[in-house]
Chain A
Amino acid sequence: MDLLTVLQVLDSTVRLATPLLLACLAGLFSERAGIFDIGLEGKMLAAAFFSAAIAAVTGSVWIGLGAGILASLSLSGLHGLASITFRGNQLISGVAINFLAAGLTVLIAQSWFQQGGRTPALLSGGRFGGITLPGAEALREVPVLGPIYYELISGHSILVYVAFACVPLTWWILYRTRFGLRLRAVGENPEAVDTAGISVIRLRYAAVLICGLLCGIAGAYLATALQAGFVQDMTAGRGYIALAALIFAKWRPWQALYATLLFGFLQAIALRYQNLDLGFFTLPVQAMDALPYILTVVILAGFIGKAVPPRAGGEPYVKER
């Protein structure tokens, strides 16, 4: 395997890890505040559809991005309503949101575009193109470092850089701001936060909405940057892989980056090599597909360090009278 092949696999790792990373950080905000969210998949799917649909109609990818975020935010609002205001079961609400998005996107796509549940293919104005970073062309010929800079670091869409910038940003918000401290506290011990005179409800809604924002960007990335348009069920389980990565990362931002890069790498390998020949036996592509889930179960089982979720996760908060 030469350098170029390695770089191409790594390049596609970055592309495939981006939606996982955004969704994983989205889940991180929500779950750190004590709201379990298995509806990441649905929110991404809704955002993917609305961003592609609006970008196709208006011809502007930025308006599309806005529409995708708005769609994801409204599903977040629904999740908040069910799990914060009406103190319902957060898991069931997440399941419902996933189905709602899976059904509605196809229904609306069929009604708007009559193309069998997909949006028209997006032209260049309706997509996020690659950005060539300064100096990439000039440095291209420099041995080793040149190709790495040109192939791997430069040439991605703006959303990829946004996603990677979100990692230190999330870390800073969670661990260096007052809001972050309160957010983490409300996921561990909401009574204490309430006693301090801070609204548990408002904090949790804020977390859920940040989750919606990030899922919205993730979905828009799928439909307007990674691919050119929406097709039915295009998230293809990425929301669940993100959830797996979140557990893998034990609900921490930097580890979320590493976990999603690992899972993105697995996807990139599965995409490039259908059946991986390891010399002594051939690893079927399905084993690659299943690997993120198997790894997550192993982590959950606590064989490689225990993954302990936020203590108040999944529990609706009932204010004492």
Chain B
Amino acid sequence: MERMPKWADVVLIPLISLLLAAVISGLVILAIGEDPINALNLMVKGALGSTYGWGYTLYYATNFLFTGLAVAVAFHARLFNIGGEGQAMLGGLGVALVCLYLPWPHWSLALLAATGGAALFGAAWAFLPAILQAKRGSHIVITTIMFNFIAAAFLNWLLVGPLKPRGAMDPSTARFPEAVHLPSLHEILAPLGISFSKAAPANVSFLVGILACILVWALIWRTRLGYEIRAFGHSEPAARYAGISPTKITVITMLISGGLAGMMAINNVMGEAERLVLNATEGAGFIGIAVALMGRSHPFGVFLAAILFGFLYQGGAELALWTNIPRELIIVIQALVILFTGALDNMVRMPLERLFMALRRRRA
């Protein structure tokens, strides 16, 4: 018997968790001597009050869409991929190599190839942890954490050494050629007669992100592989009994997950910076964890959660600009969301389940 209706599980619990996180964030803001209502107003105005704000919100959201999907896909196989950060860094390398060393006649072709390159490099970075988990039982959480650090050191070395153009000062690659410039939302919407901020970095990758959501949904719930992934996640012995190879599922799931995390680079590297800089991911790989937890590992939930975190990021930047609240407030909110939707899930769930059981008994 279900302890509570499905809508409560899917909608009510995330909402209550979010509310708890919001209340505690408000208390934190109060504690450092600022006004939480005013802060919320500023955030809403800064992130959603103009097409400029929306442009940044959607830009951040695009990053979180990819990393959130990456974590979510792995969650379905009950694998915890903390390595999104490193995989996204390597994805950036893939994008940079495609854009710098191959000639492109048109951005659309370049985008296709860069997406492929990003996914390939991201997936490759997830491969070793995956195979080690599948074959040798090394804990994937630990190996992916280690791979984040190795990726950071590797990129650091590349960007101060081999990839840095001669004579350049900052640790970054050369600028990508003009031909691979991705159209921004302004350039996409202008022909339709919709005016959108020119300065905001949101670009066509957002549409690729939405496409990725749909494809992941189809993969998980409409294909044989998706079924095997979910079966493996629910019960490894049962999956094994049904003839599903744990090695195969672990490796394939992690490759998909790493590929999705890597694909984030078409947004931040190709769409925004147009060159690969040091620490280009800015923690987006970790935010994917919060996004996947909040979105209950469902692509639509991930989409909503990514928009929410995009809003928090842009809103937080505005807050730092106009008040004494530093940007790190977002990290606190992110931590609280992870805490309540992930680790303290039972704290919200147990009383709710009791409530629904009591209601049902009264009705019966």
Contact = CB atoms under 8 A, between A and B. Distances in A.
Interface of A: 38, 78, 81-83, 86-93, 95-100, 102-104, 106-108, 110-111, 114, 117, 237, 240, 243-244, 247, 284, 286-287, 289-290, 293-294, 296-297, 300-302, 309
User: Would you list the 10 A-B pairs with minimal beta carbon distance, nearest first?
Assistant: A103-B331, A93-B343, A99-B335, A103-B332, A92-B342, A290-B153, A111-B32, A300-B138, A100-B335, A96-B339
Interface in B324-364: 324-326, 328-336, 338-339, 342-347, 350
Given A104-B28, A293-B150, A296-B146, A92 B132 contact: no
B109 interface: no
B139 interface: yes
A99 B136 contact: no
Interface of B: 28, 31-33, 80, 82, 128, 132, 136-139, 141-143, 145-147, 149-150, 153-154, 156-157, 161, 286, 289, 293, 324-326, 328-336, 338-339, 342-347, 350
A237 B153 CA distance: 12
Contacts of A114: 324
Given A91-B82, A106-B331, A301-B136, 15 more contacts: A92-B338, A99-B334, A103-B329, A103-B331, A103-B334, A104-B328, A104-B332, A107-B32, A107-B326, A111-B31, A286-B153, A289-B149, A289-B153, A293-B150, A296-B146
14 contacts: A82-B344, A88-B347, A89-B343, A91-B141, A99-B338, A103-B334, A106-B328, A110-B324, A114-B324, A289-B153, A293-B146, A297-B128, A297-B146, A302-B136
Nearest to A82: B343
A44 to B, nearest CB: 16
Contacts of B147: 293, 297
B346 A87 contact: yes
A86 B138 contact: no
A151 B147 CA distance: 36
Q: Which of A38, A95, A237 has the most CB of B within 10 A?
A: A95
Contacts of B137: 302
A117 B331 CA distance: 14
Contacts of A103: 328-335
A107 B329 contact: yes
Contacts of B138: 297, 300-302
A210 B345 CA distance: 25
Contacts of B334: 99, 103
B153 A297 contact: no
A183 B156 CA distance: 42
B234 to A, nearest CB: 16
B132 A95 contact: no
B332 A100 contact: yes
Contacts of A111: 31-33, 324
A100 to B, nearest CB: 4
